[in-house]
Structure 1
């Protein structure tokens, strides 16, 4: 995950300093799957989710000069996607307004480098199933922290929640996952220290 962070940071700087279109395309390709799944969890439409992610990247390109001021572009994009997605849902519903608690986020663990992972397809299926069985809010928080690599504070900011809520939901999620996946009960810490 640290490698992804440094890659994202380098691409961000190339876009901010040089208006580098190749870096922009690289950032898009790297982050699109996660951002698409996140948006889809709100809008429940492939077309709308694709459009929302594209709109977010257009906004990113339009603000290229200010990108160097953004500490974590991934968290910034997740926040933008959340806002655009909720606005889309609210605009297209008939006077029913939704909050973050009304949406379900279905995760899918994917591996960037399968040769580096020694885990069977059946184990991945069981892990995905266990993550998807978490309550919606817990699943969303777990996805952002554990699978997308956002810090607790970034996740709290993206979702408009308090830091203790995020920490508690991660602990609840880890406990439920460890209970539903007894074969995977390794020495996994329930929470991590945040800076």
Structure 2
């Protein structure tokens, strides 16, 4: 996963220098994460891909106006969330988006991303423990621990307080640690849960 600093730098190069190579790198660095996020909201991979594509097209078209965006990653997550909710409304499948009805399968750990850190078997056990969490708790865990967003950023994205993010994350880490403790060493569990 591309680090936050590199993503910010690419965003600045897109906005300030009209740099298409930076735009491509930004897309590569965030595309998969945003598609997973959108698919969790919409329940459709195809729709999620279209939405993320639209978000990046909008980014390119409005790049000159976006130079003042303080946190580009959160900005693109919020755009993706808004586009996803709007797509659902247009389809009239849902009148109100609830975090309790997200498609949590769309957030599954990508084996190629995590393979360097943990074996496939351990990854499956962790994924099973994550999937057993309540939906909101699971979403918060994935946004913080897998996508690398800060508590404040997740709070802004989900329209909840950072204290709620902290409390939900603590619950998630405790439940996951309890669920996988018997199957892995304490050091391995700690390295994954608290990285």
Which TM-score band (shorter chain)?
Answer: 0.7 to 0.9
Is there any run of 5+ residues in structure 1 with no aligned partner, and where?
none
Deviation at 1:14, TM superposition (A): 1.1
- 1:60-101 deviation line (CA, Å, top 9, x unaligned): 112211333122211111111111111111221256322333
- Alignment partner, residue 180 of structure 1: 179
Task: Give the TM-score taking structure 1 as reference length.
Answer: 0.86
Deviation at 1:112, TM superposition (A): 4.7
Once residues 7 and 139 of structure 1 are traced to their aligned partners in structure 2, the CA distance between those partners, rounded to angstroms, is: 27
Task: Give the TM-score taking structure 2 as reference length.
Answer: 0.86
- Alignment partner, residue 120 of structure 2: 121
Give the CA RMSD over aligned residues: 2.3
Distance 1:95 1:11, change over 3 A: closer
What is the aligned residue count? Answer: 188
- Alignment partner, residue 3 of structure 2: 4
Is there any run of 5+ residues in structure 2 with no aligned partner, and where?
none
Once residues 36 and 139 of structure 2 are traced to their aligned partners in structure 1, the CA distance between those partners, rounded to angstroms, is: 11
- 1:134-163 deviation line (CA, Å, top 9, x unaligned): 111001111111110110000000011112
Deviation at 1:59, TM superposition (A): 1.4
Q: Does 1:108 align with 2:108?
A: yes
Deviates further, 132-141 or 62-71: 62-71
- Alignment partner, residue 43 of structure 1: 42
